[in-house]
Amino acid sequence: MGRMGLLACVIVSVSTACTEPDLDHEGGPDEPAEIVVSAVEGARLCAGTQTWVDDELRRVRAETGLLPVARLPVTLGAGAVEERCTVPDDPETVVGCTLGEGGATAVISTPEALSHELVHALRRHQELRTRTMFEEGFAEAIDGSDAYPRYVELEPGELPEARWPEALVQQSKAEFRSVQSYRVAVHFVDHLRRVHGAEAVAAFMRGGIDGTAAEAETRFERHFGTSLEAEAQAWRASGAQGFGRGDPCAGGVVAIESGVTVELVVRVDCDDPETMGLEGAAEAAWIRRCVSLGAGRRAVQMGMGAGPGLGAVRWEAVPQTCAEGSSELDAAPKVVEAGDAGTLEFAACTWAVTFESTADGPQELSLTLGPG
Ligand SMILES: [Zn+2]
């Protein structure tokens, strides 16, 4: 690990691996190492992310009821994921991974997948293991924050039998791996949390090691007092559901009227407490703003301080905020690269607008929106 990596360490409890004197130590100098979060080589965590990481570690430990017993290293950065998370199928969608187990467990992740991977890692660290459906559903149900919100809509009554929890619990990791299966798993675990309480679900997850689906089903029935099949049937009968965690617009929403030109300006500065993400090694630092827009076509022009190719603005409609009857295309995510100008068709929604910089050092990004 280079000097940049050392400086980027975030200490939660005490580590002997990060010895920079100005770091935030919570425990005494002789306590064992716990979770040590560092940026990928050549990058550093921005100030907002440092605070966010501390919050997420606390939250994940509380919600899983698990503490690491030995040092658990976490490396953050898209570059590290690309290099070290090797999944044979669909490498495009991999945002993080947990490697090894027991005292050798390590997490490699983008910030957006950190909380999900931490759930896996704390479990692997203690060599806890159940069926993939529960592992992934539990990790997904704990994931999601204002910085990296999650929202998954599902109509369980319309699922084919092959995607029912009774079927998914039989599946190996390789068989399970599909977007739809993750959705089912998170909704089913969320249902269990609502019916039986989050602590009861966490206790079930800590409560044993299931080598087979039959073992998991037996333990499920003993723990929850109802069979997996009966619980899954109750869940399907409960109607359409939206599972969501985190509010991308917790910082407020600015209404932009039709007919006016607006310029949004942000300064993405890794040392600023509002700036999230990472700086250096082509990682992205970012700031988010939320605006509500009427439907229509608007000219969009982006300016930046550092030069072309070193920034982008991502537009994402906040779930459940678009006007009734909005076109799916107009509500779809949009990206404007630094230096781009053009016109975009917007649905009437609240939009989370993320200003991203890949420059080394602070950069001012501006976005001019023509009259709608
Ligand atoms: Zn996972």
pLDDT for 70 equals 85
Residue 45 contacts residue 53 (beta carbons within 8 Å): yes
Domain ranges of the chain: 1-127, 130-246, 254-369
371 Cα: distance to centroid of ligand 1 (angstroms): 43
pLDDT band at 22 (very low <50, low <70, confident <90, very high): very low
Contact, 47 vs 276, CB < 8 A?
no
Domain 1-127 indexed as CATH 3.40.30: yes
- Residue 28: the pLDDT is 40
At residue 264, the pLDDT reads 94
Q: Between residues 308 and 338, which one has the greater pLDDT?
A: 338
Q: From ligand 1's centre to the CA of 88, what distance in Å?
A: 15
pLDDT mean across residues, the chain: 89
Q: How many angstroms separate the alpha carbon of residue 136 from the centre of ligand 1?
A: 5
Confidence of residue 88 (pLDDT cuts 50, 70, 90): low
Counts of helices then strands in the chain (DSSP H, E): 12, 18
Parallel, antiparallel, or unpaired for β 276-279 and 285-293?
A: antiparallel
pLDDT at 272: 98
DSSP string, 266-300: EEE-TTSTT-EEEESTT--EEEEEEEEE-SEEEEE
What pLDDT sits at residue 302? Answer: 87
What's the CA gap between 349 and 285, in Å, rounded? Answer: 25
Cα–Cα distance measured from residue 125 to residue 102, given in angstroms and rounded to the nearest whole number: 4
**Element spanning 53, H or E:** helix 47-64
Q: What is the distance in A from the centroid of ligand 1 to the CA of 150?
A: 14
How large a percentage of the chain has pLDDT more than 70? 89
Helices in 150-257 by DSSP H: which ranges?
165-168, 173-176, 179-196, 198-206, 213-224, 228-236
Q: Mean per-residue pLDDT for 224-231?
A: 98
Give pLDDT, residue 309. 78
Cα of 55 from ligand 1 centre, angstroms: 20
- Taking the centre of ligand 1 as the mean of its atom positions, its distance from the CA of residue 341, in whole angstroms, is 38
Specify the higher pLDDT residue, 207 or 33: 207
What's the confidence (pLDDT) of residue 329? 95
- pLDDT computed for residue 91 by the predictor: 56
> How far, in Å, CA of 106 to CA of 46, rounded?
22
Name the pLDDT band for 360 (thresholds 50, 70, 90): very high
Question: In angstroms, what is the span from residue 96 Cα to ligand 1's centroid?
Answer: 8
- d(CA 195, CA 198) in angstroms, rounded, equals 9
CA–centroid distance, 171 to ligand 1, in Å, is 15
Q: Collect residues with CB below 5 Å from ion ligand 1.
A: 136, 139
CATH class of 254-369: mainly beta
pLDDT digits (tens, 9 = 90+) for 286-308: 999 999 999 999 999 988 776 77
Distance of CA 252 to the CA centre of its chain: 21
| First and final C-alpha spacing in the chain | 50
Report how far residue 35's alpha carbon sits from residue 243's, in angstroms, rounded to the nearest whole number. 28
Q: What is the pLDDT of residues 125-183, one digit of tens each?
A: 999 999 999 999 999 999 999 999 999 999 999 999 999 999 999 999 999 989 999 99
Distance 172 CA to ligand 1 centre (A): 13
pLDDT digits (tens, 9 = 90+) for 30-78: 444 589 999 999 999 999 999 999 999 999 999 999 988 789 999 999 9
pLDDT band at 16 (very low <50, low <70, confident <90, very high): very low
Nearest-angstrom CA–CA distance, 207 and 295 = 51
Give the distance, in angstroms, between the CA of residue 240 and the centroid of all CA atoms in the same chain.
23
CA angle 37, 287, 363 (to 5 degrees): 100
Question: Can you read off the two tokens belonging to residue 309?
Answer: 């190719």
Cα(196) to centroid(ligand 1), Å: 23
- The pLDDT value recorded for residue 241 is 87
**Does 351 score more than 70 pLDDT?**
yes
- pLDDT exceeds 50 at position 89: yes
What average pLDDT does this structure show over 76-89? 86
CA of 291 to the centre of ligand 1 (A): 32
Q: What mean pLDDT comes out for the span 238-251?
A: 93
Question: For residues 294 and 348, is the Cβ–Cβ distance under 8 A?
Answer: yes
Instruction: Find the Cα–Cα–Cα–Cα dihedral 329, 330, 332, 335, rounded to 10°.
Output: 120
pLDDT tens for residues 255-294? 999 889 999 999 999 999 999 999 999 999 999 999 999 9
Query: Regarding predicted confidence, which is higher, 21 or 49?
Result: 49
Ligand 1 center–CA 117 separation, angstroms: 6
Instruction: Compute, in angstroms, the gap from residue 139 CA to the centroid of ligand 1.
Output: 6
CA–CA separation, 322 and 324 (whole Å):
6
Q: What is the pLDDT of residue 305?
A: 78
Q: What three-state secondary structure class fits 11?
A: strand
**CA 163 to ligand 1 centroid distance, Å:** 18
Give 284 Cα–ligand 1 centroid separation in angstroms: 23
CA of 116 to the centre of ligand 1 (A): 6
Secondary structure class of 44 (helix, strand, coil): strand
Whether residue 205 is predicted with pLDDT greater than 80 in this model: the reply is yes
